[in-house]
Amino acid sequence: MDANCDVLIVGGAVTGAATAWWLLGQRPGLRVVVAEKDPTYARAATALSVASVRQQFSNPVNVKISRFGVDFIRNFSEMIGPEGGVPSLGLKENGYLFLTGSDIGRGLLEELAAMQRSLGAATEVLDRAALAARFPWMRLDDVLAGSIGTRDEGWFDNMGLLNGFRAAARARGARFLADRVVGLDREGGRITGARLAEAGRIGVGAVLCAAGTGSAEVCRMAAIALPVEPRKRTVFVIDAPNARHPEAPLIIDHTGIYLRPEHGGWITATVPDDDGPCSEDDWDPDHAQFEEAIWEKLYNRAEGFDAVKVTRFWVGHYDYNTLDQNAILGLWPGYENFYVAAGFSGHGLQQSPAVGRGMAELILEGAYRTIDLSPLGPERVLAGRPFLEQAIV
Ligand SMILES: Cc1cc2nc3c(=O)[nH]c(=O)nc-3n(C[C@H](O)[C@H](O)[C@H](O)COP(=O)(O)OP(=O)(O)OC[C@H]3O[C@@H](n4cnc5c(N)ncnc54)[C@H](O)[C@@H]3O)c2cc1C
C-alpha cells in the first residue's frame, strides 16, 4: 500500500488521542497520524466538559463502556504509563443521583438499576425517607425516589485524560499534526487520501472521523450524511455560601437541571427549552438561563440556595446525535476503510477509554474483541432505527 500513514485520525481530542494510543499499543510501528485543527482545544467538547462518569445508562452497552471507563480513569497513571505524565485524574466518587417524582419514574429507575447491577454497577434505588436520611439538607417534597451509584460514579480531570492519552500516544509513535482536514479522496469504497489545509495531500490506509461537532462536515467529504449537529450548553459555576455540601453527588433533578459540587461551590446547567442546532460559531452564553430556568429549582431543592452568586460560566457544544443521542461507532457501510466515532451527545469523555480500544480493534482486526460496540454501529443510522438512550443529561 502506497500510503503516507496507515491510519489518519481526524480530530485529536479525547476520542482521537485515545484511539491513537490503543492502535499503537496493539500494533507497534503502525504509522498513525492525528490531524487536529486547533491544538489549543479551546472549543473542543473535551475541554469544555463537566468531566463526570456514571454507570447509570439505560442501554447495557453504555453501562459496559462506563464499567471499563471508570476503572481506566481510576488507574489512569498505571494504565497509560509514565509517558502519559499524569500522576492521577483525581477521580472523586461522590456518585450520581437521579431523582424522580412519579411512580412510573420510580419503576424505571428500579428496572434500570437491576440491569446496571447485573453488569457490576452498584446502583441503589432509595425512597424519599432513605434519601432524606442520607442527604438531610435536601428538600424532597416533590421526590418519590432516587437512584444512586455508591461507587464508580463521580468526576475527574478531563484535561488530564486528554493530555495523558496524547503524550502516551506520541511516545508510542503517533504523529500529531496541527492541521485541518479539508477533503477526502475516494476510489470506489476506499478513501485513498486526505487533503490537509497546510500539509497538502496525505495517502491513507484508513481514516477515523473523531471530529466531534465537526464530524458531519468530515463525513460530508466522504458523501455521508451524519445526523450530528452542535447543541449549545451553558454551564454555570456558582458560589452558595449557605449551601456547602462537598460530599453531594451529581444530582440529575427531574425538574430539568443538574448540579454537582466544585471547589466549595457548585456547577449547574440545564437543557434549554428551545434546544436545537446552533451555529458552530455561537459561543454566546445564555446568561438568562440561570435566572429563568435554574435558580428557582435550586432554591426549591435545598436550603441555602437563596444567596447565590454566579462566579463563572462557559459554553460548550455537544456533538448531538439527532437520531438517538448515542455514539455512532464503526466502519461506514459501503466503505472498506472509513470509520466514525462521533455523536456522543454529552457522554463521550467517560466513553473514550473503551471507544478508543474498540475502534483500534475494529480497524486492526475487523471485529470488536472486548466490548461488542456493534449496537452503536452506523447501520441503525442508515436504517433510521433509533437505539435510544433514556438517561441523557
Ligand atoms: C458542557 C458539556 C458537558 C459535558 N459533560 C460530560 C460529562 O460529564 N461526561 C462525559 O463523559 N462527557 C461529557 N461531555 C461530552 C464530552 O465532552 C464529549 O463527548 C467528548 O469530549 C467528545 O470528545 P471528542 O474527541 O469525540 O470530540 P471533541 O472534544 O469535540 O474534539 C473534536 C476535535 O476534532 C477537531 N476537528 C474538527 N474538525 C476537524 C477537521 N476537519 N480537521 C482536524 N480536526 C478537526 C476539533 O478541533 C476538536 O479538537 C460534555 C460536553 C459538554 C459540551
Where helices occur in 246-304 by DSSP H, the ranges are 288-289, 295-301
pLDDT score recorded for residue 50 = 97
What's the farthest any 2 CA atoms get from each other in the chain?
A: 67
Would you say 391 and 63 are in contact if contact means Cβ atoms under 8 Å apart?
no
Cα of 317 from ligand 1 centre, angstroms: 8
Taking 50 as the threshold, does the pLDDT of residue 172 lie above it?
Answer: yes
Query: Which string of b and e fits 265-299 if b means at least 16 CB within 10 Å?
Result: bbbbbbbbeeeeebeeeebebbeebbeebbbebbb
Taking 70 as the threshold, does the pLDDT of residue 392 lie above it?
Answer: no
- Residue percentage of the chain with pLDDT more than 70: 99
Q: What average pLDDT score do residues 229-246 get?
A: 97
Q: What average pLDDT score do residues 19-28 get?
A: 98
Question: If pLDDT is split at 50, 70 and 90, which confidence band does 298 have?
Answer: very high
Q: In 3-state terms, what secondary structure has residue 261?
A: strand
> Over the stretch 305-364, which tens digit does the pLDDT of each residue have?
999 999 999 999 999 999 999 999 999 999 999 999 999 999 999 999 999 999 999 999
Compute the distance between CA of residue 238 and CA of residue 280 in angstroms, rounded to an integer: 26
Residue count of the chain, please give it: 393
Q: In 3-state terms, what secondary structure has residue 46?
A: helix
Q: Whose CA is nearest to atom 48 of ligand 1?
A: 44
Residue 377, ligand 1, Cβ within 6 A: no
- Ligand 1, closest atom to CA 348? 19
Taking 80 as the threshold, does the pLDDT of residue 138 lie above it?
Answer: yes
Taking 60 as the threshold, does the pLDDT of residue 3 lie above it?
Answer: no
Cα of 242 from ligand 1 centre, angstroms: 34
Residue 348, ligand 1, Cβ within 6 A: yes
Residue 181, ligand 1, Cβ within 6 A: yes
> Over the stretch 265-292, which tens digit does the pLDDT of each residue have?
999 999 988 899 999 999 999 999 999 9
CATH number for domain 5-60+157-227+323-383, candidates 1.10.3720.10, 3.40.50.1100, 3.40.50.11810, 3.50.50.60: 3.50.50.60
Q: Is 213 exposed, middle or buried (0-12, 13-18, 19+ CB in 10 A)?
A: buried
Cα of 349 from ligand 1 centre, angstroms: 8
Residue 46, ligand 1, Cβ within 6 A: yes
Residue spans in the chain of domains classed CATH 3.30.9.10: 96-156+232-316
Angle (CA) 123 127 131, round 5°: 80
Cα of 167 from ligand 1 centre, angstroms: 18
- Return the residue matching grid coordinates 429549582: 297
pLDDT score recorded for residue 388 = 87
Q: In 3-state terms, what secondary structure has residue 145?
A: strand
Residue 326, ligand 1, Cβ within 6 A: no
Residue 16, ligand 1, Cβ within 6 A: yes
pLDDT score recorded for residue 389 = 81
Residue 359, ligand 1, Cβ within 6 A: no
- Ligand 1, closest atom to CA 196? 42
Which grid coordinates belong to 133? 436520611
Would you say 5 and 203 are in contact if contact means Cβ atoms under 8 Å apart?
yes
Encoded amino acid at 147, one letter: S
Taking 70 as the threshold, does the pLDDT of residue 128 lie above it?
Answer: yes
Residue 280, ligand 1, Cβ within 6 A: no
Compute the distance between CA of residue 173 and CA of residue 348 in angstroms, rounded to an integer: 25
Residue 328, ligand 1, Cβ within 6 A: no
Compute the distance between CA of residue 360 and CA of residue 18 in angstroms, rounded to an integer: 9
Where helices occur in the chain by DSSP H, the ranges are 14-26, 45-48, 60-74, 76-80, 103-118, 128-134, 158-171, 215-220, 288-289, 295-301, 348-365, 379-383
pLDDT score recorded for residue 55 = 98
Q: What average pLDDT score do residues 147-167 get?
A: 97
pLDDT score recorded for residue 393 = 74
* DSSP code per residue over 170-203: HHTT-EEEE--EEEEEEETTEEEEEEETTTEEEE
Angle (CA) 331 17 263, round 5°: 125
Q: Whose CA is nearest to atom 14 of ligand 1?
A: 346
pLDDT score recorded for residue 282 = 97
Cα of 221 from ligand 1 centre, angstroms: 20
pLDDT score recorded for residue 273 = 87
Average pLDDT, the chain: 97
Q: What average pLDDT score do residues 197-211 get?
A: 97
> Over the stretch 80-104, which tens digit does the pLDDT of each residue have?
999 999 999 999 999 999 999 999 9
Residue spans in the chain of domains classed CATH 3.50.50.60: 5-60+157-227+323-383
Taking 70 as the threshold, does the pLDDT of residue 185 lie above it?
Answer: yes
Residue 235, ligand 1, Cβ within 6 A: yes
Taking 50 as the threshold, does the pLDDT of residue 253 lie above it?
Answer: yes
pLDDT score recorded for residue 2 = 38
Domain boundaries 96-156+232-316, CATH class: alpha beta
